[in-house]
Chain A
């Protein structure tokens, strides 16, 4: 009789623990999602933007090569922001363009136009993890992802390193996100999000074997139109190969009147 009592008590404790853990997990997911949603909302309403930037590729021996490019983005609340990236340097790849149409609940559309052969190549979902023009950014990294493309988890809150001020003055929420797309090159990403302005300071990308692959860091944030924070420099460091790609922004303009026609597939050749 005594034994049965103990068994019942043990079962009760286990049930409570499991229920608590499940509730904690749900709570962590919700908090992670809420932080991601806040980042998304903080950036909403910009309509469109055009940025000119340099892409600096550095190999493991420190040799650098430079590319110049322009990125146009059109806000698209319904299906995810469309983007068109066009290279201006080196001269032999001038006109090379990448058009991205993100979609909710289906694979994103990506097309690469190669002027040397006058052909448009569609990027298959299996090649999303491939290097974008030899950089440490993959085709997947060049997509403005939807919030629904991941599931989230809140991890913790800690002082976050401000790369511009070189201090740890900012409080950041740390969340992890798991891609839903089975063709993603990543098993998970861990993000450091500034609590106040929702700036993303750092992202760690883990490969499919769950080993740290790349670290993204954002520097020199500038506030545009009194609302939109943009990092003037972002750095992607591949910790497995020790190659680095930096994007240094020269200018960003907002609300210049871009429309869907500027992101039509025929715009790749324009």
Chain B
């Protein structure tokens, strides 16, 4: 009801999925040994999920999906082919499906990966669909701009949707330079909850009617204790601005603007701590902007008999775009810890708290993961906005939308 994109995207995704099946079957039919290799490299991750919102109704008072359950499935394939003429051709695919009994927008399929990479000398060529990670910070990755965020899966933008691309990279001993062309743009599906105060419109608006994926370049360097990258991106900004349009004043309409970014991210590893930074300058809606984050990670091994590693994190983020920024952080401090238990189950616990220096908004997140058998593991997450004024629009949208989610995974 809130967006019509999901149905269209779903059908499009089904078409992609069929092509994918035909592609795999054809490969297997003509080359049985490849089929065997493919089977060996297939990974299935199935999960049953539950989500519980502490408050009964969403802020828009339209939906009530306080408790919901669902299923999640992921198929991954990573395999290499060596043909007589072409060596080291890598094929990767990752298809994700989610179903939720209450929220239609959480019933969708996404091809997160379906790509081919191959080498020719020092150059690496790639095409297909992929998710890219750029950045260094723990809380929010300002420079991770290529893929659309999956708001249905994570409200912090950490989970990314697949993005079509063509790329060429040149590897040298201390780094890599990559050029990427992104032919298609895809809009976000907004779930019913967490709501943004108003239902989201079905239709999207685009600046100058442009909706291009864009193009990007990245030069990554590893120099002794430094790892840093300069990047450039120009195209449609993945995160929309939510506006009241005259066409549907009772709804919030996603407005996708054009953006041009010059980006920097770097890590400096000392003996005792790690320094991290991300920065971007750019141009949007005719104005320039600046956003940056600075962070420190300090690992402690005081409890190494029980906990392999405890990492204390402190980060500061500012963004002078204020309410048109891509994230809720415009003058925020993040503090947190990560516990790696270092046992055979590889349990981990992550706690994060953020404080807005301008509006005093506070946000907390707690997540835990534990494997109790080779095939089974559990994940749990709790998210709560402690306080947020109406001036702080992105965070305010999440007030009263605190939730706990739990999933039991079976991977084979």
Give A residues with C-beta under 8 Å from B: 57, 59, 65-66, 89-95, 118-119, 122, 124-127, 129-131, 133-135, 183, 260-261, 264-266, 270
Answer whether residue B183 sits at the interface, using C-beta atoms and an 8 A cutoff: no
Contact of B374 among A90, A125, A130, A265 (CB under 8 A): A90
Answer whether residue B29 sits at the interface, using C-beta atoms and an 8 A cutoff: no
Asked if B412 and A91 make an inter-chain contact with CB atoms under 8 angstroms apart, the answer reads: yes
Asked if B269 and A124 make an inter-chain contact with CB atoms under 8 angstroms apart, the answer reads: yes
Give B residues with C-beta under 8 Å from A: 43-45, 76, 78, 90, 117, 119, 122, 124, 131, 133, 169, 171, 173, 176, 222, 227, 267, 269, 271-272, 274, 299, 301, 304, 308-309, 342-346, 371, 373-375, 377, 409, 411-412
**Which secondary structure dominates chain B's binding surface?**
strand
Residues of A within 8 A of B411 (CB): 90-92
Looking at the assembled complex, report how far the CB atom of A238 sits from the nearest CB atom of chain B, in whole angstroms. 11
Asked if A125 and B119 make an inter-chain contact with CB atoms under 8 angstroms apart, the answer reads: no
Asked if A260 and B344 make an inter-chain contact with CB atoms under 8 angstroms apart, the answer reads: no
Nearest to B300 among chain A residues (CB) is A126
- Given contacts A94-B76, A260-B173, A266-B124, 14 further A-B pairs with CB under 8 A are A57-B344, A65-B344, A89-B374, A90-B374, A90-B375, A91-B375, A95-B78, A118-B133, A126-B301, A127-B299, A130-B342, A261-B119, A265-B176, A266-B171
Asked if A94 and B43 make an inter-chain contact with CB atoms under 8 angstroms apart, the answer reads: yes
Nearest to A119 among chain B residues (CB) is B133
Asked if A92 and B377 make an inter-chain contact with CB atoms under 8 angstroms apart, the answer reads: yes
Residues of B within 8 A of A126 (CB): 271-272, 299, 301
Bound CA span A124–B225, Å:
10
Known: A57-B344, A90-B411. A131 touches B308 (CB 8 A): yes
Considering the complex of A and B, which 9 residue pairs feature the smallest CB-CB distances, nearest first?
Answer: A91-B411, A134-B344, A131-B342, A92-B411, A118-B133, A91-B43, A57-B344, A90-B374, A130-B308
Bound CA span A57–B309, Å:
20
Residues of B within 8 A of A130 (CB): 301, 304, 308-309, 342
Bound CA span A261–B119, Å:
10
Asked if B176 and A122 make an inter-chain contact with CB atoms under 8 angstroms apart, the answer reads: no
Asked if A122 and B267 make an inter-chain contact with CB atoms under 8 angstroms apart, the answer reads: yes
Residues of A within 8 A of B409 (CB): 92
Asked if B371 and A90 make an inter-chain contact with CB atoms under 8 angstroms apart, the answer reads: yes
Residues of B within 8 A of A118 (CB): 131, 133
Residues of B within 8 A of A95 (CB): 78
Residues of B within 8 A of A93 (CB): 346
Residues of A within 8 A of B272 (CB): 126
Looking at the assembled complex, report how far the CB atom of B148 sits from the nearest CB atom of chain A, in whole angstroms. 15
Residues of A within 8 A of B119 (CB): 261
Asked if A59 and B299 make an inter-chain contact with CB atoms under 8 angstroms apart, the answer reads: no
Nearest to B80 among chain A residues (CB) is A270
Asked if A91 and B44 make an inter-chain contact with CB atoms under 8 angstroms apart, the answer reads: yes
Asked if A124 and B299 make an inter-chain contact with CB atoms under 8 angstroms apart, the answer reads: yes
Asked if A65 and B269 make an inter-chain contact with CB atoms under 8 angstroms apart, the answer reads: no
Bound CA span A59–B342, Å:
13
Asked if A122 and B171 make an inter-chain contact with CB atoms under 8 angstroms apart, the answer reads: no
Asked if A264 and B412 make an inter-chain contact with CB atoms under 8 angstroms apart, the answer reads: no
Bound CA span A118–B277, Å:
18
Contact of B301 among A59, A127, A134, A266 (CB under 8 A): A127
Bound CA span A129–B304, Å:
10
Looking at the assembled complex, report how far the CB atom of A90 sits from the nearest CB atom of chain B, in whole angstroms. 5
Looking at the assembled complex, report how far the CB atom of B369 sits from the nearest CB atom of chain A, in whole angstroms. 9
Output the residue of A57, A129, A134, A265 with the most chain B CB within 10 A: A134
Asked if B45 and A92 make an inter-chain contact with CB atoms under 8 angstroms apart, the answer reads: yes
Asked if A265 and B308 make an inter-chain contact with CB atoms under 8 angstroms apart, the answer reads: no
Asked if B377 and A261 make an inter-chain contact with CB atoms under 8 angstroms apart, the answer reads: no
Asked if A59 and B344 make an inter-chain contact with CB atoms under 8 angstroms apart, the answer reads: yes
Looking at the assembled complex, report how far the CB atom of B119 sits from the nearest CB atom of chain A, in whole angstroms. 7
Nearest to A95 among chain B residues (CB) is B78
Nearest to A257 among chain B residues (CB) is B87
Nearest to B133 among chain A residues (CB) is A118
Looking at the assembled complex, report how far the CB atom of B338 sits from the nearest CB atom of chain A, in whole angstroms. 11
Bound CA span A250–B281, Å:
52
Nearest to B301 among chain A residues (CB) is A126
Bound CA span A147–B47, Å:
48
Residues of A within 8 A of B78 (CB): 94-95
Bound CA span A90–B119, Å:
29
Residues of A within 8 A of B375 (CB): 90-91
Bound CA span A119–B138, Å:
11
Looking at the assembled complex, report how far the CB atom of B171 sits from the nearest CB atom of chain A, in whole angstroms. 6
Output the residue of A57, A90, A122, A135 with the most chain B CB within 10 A: A90
Asked if B171 and A91 make an inter-chain contact with CB atoms under 8 angstroms apart, the answer reads: no
Asked if A264 and B171 make an inter-chain contact with CB atoms under 8 angstroms apart, the answer reads: yes
Residues of A within 8 A of B176 (CB): 264-266
14 A/B residue pairs, CB under 8 Å, sorted by A: A65-B374, A91-B43, A91-B44, A92-B45, A118-B131, A126-B301, A129-B301, A130-B309, A131-B308, A135-B344, A260-B173, A265-B176, A266-B176, A270-B117
Looking at the assembled complex, report how far the CB atom of B362 sits from the nearest CB atom of chain A, in whole angstroms. 25
Looking at the assembled complex, report how far the CB atom of B42 sits from the nearest CB atom of chain A, in whole angstroms. 9
Asked if B345 and A134 make an inter-chain contact with CB atoms under 8 angstroms apart, the answer reads: yes
Residues of A within 8 A of B412 (CB): 91
Nearest to B44 among chain A residues (CB) is A91
Asked if B344 and A124 make an inter-chain contact with CB atoms under 8 angstroms apart, the answer reads: no
Looking at the assembled complex, report how far the CB atom of B253 sits from the nearest CB atom of chain A, in whole angstroms. 31
Residues of A within 8 A of B76 (CB): 94
Contact of B45 among A91, A134, A264 (CB under 8 A): A91
Residues of B within 8 A of A65 (CB): 344, 373-374
Bound CA span A93–B43, Å:
10
Bound CA span A89–B42, Å:
11
Nearest to A118 among chain B residues (CB) is B133
Bound CA span A66–B371, Å:
13
Bound CA span A25–B44, Å:
60
Known: A122-B227, A266-B176. A133 touches B346 (CB 8 A): yes
Bound CA span A183–B267, Å:
21
